[in-house]
Amino acid sequence: MDDKNYNRRKFLSQLGLTLGAGAVSTSFTIPFADKINDECKETPILELGPYAVMKYRKQADHDIDLTQINGHSEVAVGQIITVFGKITDKNCNPIHSAIVEIWQANHYGKYHHEYDKSEYKDDPNFQGWGQAITNEQGEYKFKTIYPAPYGGRTRHIHFKVSRRDYHELTTQMFFEGEERNKKDSILNIFTHEEQQLLIRPLIDKDNAKQVEFNLVLDEVKKNSLPEKVLKEYTGNYSLKNTPFDMKGFMKGTMGIEVNNFDLKITQKREQLFMTLSFYPMVEMVWTSKDEFQSWSFSNTYVRFLRDEKGKVVGLRLHFDEVNYVEATKKNNR
C-alpha cells in the first residue's frame, strides 16, 4: 500500500476539536489506493470512527434489511435506498464468503450506538447496522435509509469487510452531489482521484433509489512473519494513560469516556488483531520489526517492547512519533 503523510493537527483542527495539553502535532501515515488495475483500484482505508458496532453486535436482528426490525410493525423513517456492490481482489477476481458490515446515522442524524449522546432524534424502527455475506460472484446488497448529515459531516455510510487471507478493510461511502462533500473534513483528506473511489451516485432504477459501491481487498502476503513470531505478541496488556493523555484524546475526538484501558492482542493465522475495552477488534498490519500499523483505530501504530532477553514485555500505542501510551504485558512468563 502507498502511504500519504498529512498533518494530524490540521486534521483535528478541521474537526473543530480541542485536546488541550494532549494535542497531537506531528505527521503520520494513512494508506491510499494502489494503482494496480484501472478497474479494481484498492479502496482507500478510513478508520472505524466512534460508532462502530459494539454493544448492539449481539442484537438478534442484524440482517441486510436495516429499514425494519423483527417484531416491529413499523418501518424506519426516511428515503429507502438499496446499497449493493461487489467485493474483489486487485486483479478483479470476485471474493466469495466475505463478511460485509455497514452502519450509519438514521434519517435524523443519530447512530444506534451507546456512544452517540447527541440530541438528534432516535428512530426505534431503524436497525442501525447490518451484515451480509458475498455470494460466489462477490456480490452483496443492503436495504437501508438515506442517511442524514450531522455535525460537520456529510452523508456517508461506514463499511467493514473481512475475509480469511485478506486484510480487513474499513472505509466510508459518500453520495455524489452533496453540498457538504466540499467541506467534509474526512472526505477532503483525499485527492480528487481518491475521492472518486468513495463518492457514488444515487440513481433511480427499477422504481427504487440505488447506489453501487464496489470494494477491493488486499491479500495477506504469505510467510511475511512466521506464526511463531506473531504468537510472541499475543496476550493481555494493561495500558497507562501516560505520557499521552489518551483519555482526553478519546473524549475530545470521539466523545468516548474511557475508564478501562485493557488491551488484548490476538492472532488468526498470519494476522494480528487488537481489541481495546472501549473499541471493537481491529487488524494490525506488520510494517517492520516489532512494529504494526493499526489504521482502523485512529490511524495509530504499535511498537512492541522487549526485555534484555528478547522477550515481549510491553508495547507503545502511538498516535504519532511523539504522542503514545505505554502498556505492560500481563502474566508475562
Domain at 264, CATH number: 2.40.128.50
Do 285 and 206 lie in one domain? The reply is: no
Q: Count how many domains the chain has.
A: 2
| pLDDT at position 295 | 85
Q: Could you read off the pLDDT of 9-61 as tens digits, one per residue?
A: 332 333 333 333 333 333 333 343 344 445 899 899 998 887 777 655 566 66
Do 161 and 201 lie in one domain? The reply is: yes
17, 9 contact by CB (below 8 A)? no
| pLDDT at position 225 | 82
Domain ends where: 216, 236, 259?
A: 216
Q: Is 27 part of a structural domain of the chain?
A: no
Do 161 and 187 lie in one domain? The reply is: yes
Question: Residue 277 sits in which domain range?
Answer: 227-329
Q: Is 316 part of a structural domain of the chain?
A: yes
Domain ends where: 168, 192, 216?
A: 216
Q: Is 203 part of a structural domain of the chain?
A: yes
Q: Is 24 part of a structural domain of the chain?
A: no
Do 302 and 323 lie in one domain? The reply is: yes
Q: Is 16 part of a structural domain of the chain?
A: no
| pLDDT at position 279 | 87
Do 47 and 184 lie in one domain? The reply is: yes
Do 63 and 194 lie in one domain? The reply is: yes
Stretches where the chain sits below pLDDT 50 are 1-37
Do 203 and 85 lie in one domain? The reply is: yes
Domain ends where: 216, 248, 275?
A: 216
| pLDDT at position 56 | 58
| pLDDT at position 92 | 96
